[in-house]
Amino acid sequence: MPAPDPPDRSAADEGMAAPLLRVHGLARAGIAATSFTIGRGRCLAVTGPSGSGKTLLLRAIADLDPSSGDVLLAGTRRCEMPAPRWRRRVVYVAAESGWWAEAVGDHFEAPCAAGPLLRDLGLPEDALDWPVSRLSTGERQRLALARAIALEPDVLLLDEPTSGLDPTAARAAEALLRRELERGAAVVLVSHDPDQVARLADARMEMSNGVLARAGADDVGDPAP
């Protein structure tokens, strides 16, 4: 008796299964050609020693530094999208984010809508009225994360997002990131915390001397063809 035909998949199902972010042959000074894909609602952790190129990789994906190769978001090539739009949809959060205005609220497109994010991160809503000069390192990290999430990006590129936080604040940040994953965003997470990687990541890749490679056969951060 012949085996039954596989069930048809709807276009919506196919869209959810397709990679959201595809990196193919991406290279720049300090980074060898790198390829991987990541789907919606997935977190890929990039680990490795300091100075191995993890930050350079995130900056290259975000189109902040010159690079070669191809990066696609939902099938659209980065070169086909204006740079400001790309960086709004593929948002890089540095370990030490930049602040260009005196008041915190001036860094948010819609400060009135940012209150819930601040509360979720253990910050008072009036933190938007604070001068940037009064912020501690941990407050800067949490506010930079809130600033990025408020844009509702497709992809978050996070460079040690909780390194300056105490355990309570770090757990609050991780809870917010899980909510972003549930929304369908993809996260590329650079972290030195193996417990955090275990809690958040679906896959892990290892960076060493500018070369990114799979960290284990069970990981799902498949290299792009």
Q: Residue 17's pLDDT is what?
A: 53
Structural tokens at position 6? 């596989």
Return the C-alpha torsion angle 64, 93, 210, 74, nearest 10: -70
Structural tokens at position 80? 């086909």
Q: Residue 4's pLDDT is what?
A: 40
List, in sequence order, the alpha helices (H) in 81-211.
Answer: 83-89, 115-120, 137-149, 167-183, 194-200
Q: Residue 110's pLDDT is what?
A: 86
d(CA 51, CA 213): 16
Q: Residue 159's pLDDT is what?
A: 97
Q: Which H helix or E strand runs over 60?
A: helix 54-61
Q: Residue 11's pLDDT is what?
A: 36
d(CA 198, CA 116): 27
Is the four-CA dihedral 77, 219, 182, 97 of positive or negative sign?
negative
Q: How many CA atoms lie within 13 A of 224 on its CB side?
A: 22
pLDDT digits 0-9 by tens, 174-196: 999 999 999 999 999 999 999 99
pLDDT digits 0-9 by tens, 82-108: 999 999 999 999 999 899 999 999 999
Structural tokens at position 93? 């959060």
Q: Residue 221's pLDDT is what?
A: 45
Is the four-CA dihedral 61, 63, 68, 71 of positive or negative sign?
positive
Give the CATH number of domain 40-64+83-214; options: 3.40.50.2000, 2.130.10.10, 3.40.228.10, 3.40.50.300: 3.40.50.300
Q: Residue 15's pLDDT is what?
A: 42
Q: Going by C-beta distance under 8 Å and a sequence separation of 6 or more, which residues neighbour residue 101? A: 107, 132
* Spans of the chain below 70 pLDDT: 1-17, 216-225
Q: Residue 158's pLDDT is what?
A: 98
